Amino acid sequence: PPPYTGVWMGDSKLCAIGVHCRNHITSHGLALNCCTDLTWFEHIVPCGLEGKGVTSLSHELGHHVAVSHVLQPFLDSFQEVFDCTLVSSEGPG
């Protein structure tokens, strides 16, 4: 919920988005909870947000959602939204 970043389902964060700048280098990323073991979040204050929870696609949809099922549709949508072509830095194999 505003003003918090990320993707939310009610008061629970489904996806974290972050940017880090240090020594003139910027890094960024996101963490989409697909089939995350949510019990780990019981021991911390996720993202430093008191009173907010964490959820996953598997929890919200009521069935196992593997990263492998989400990755290609996510990448396709990313390319479409940002009008770009993604290039893998990994070699064959």
Token pair, residue 79, equals 């390319």
Task: Please report the DSSP string for 45-76 in residue order.
Answer: -GGG-TT-EE--HHHHHTS---HHHHHHHHHH
**Catalytic residue positions, numbered:** 47
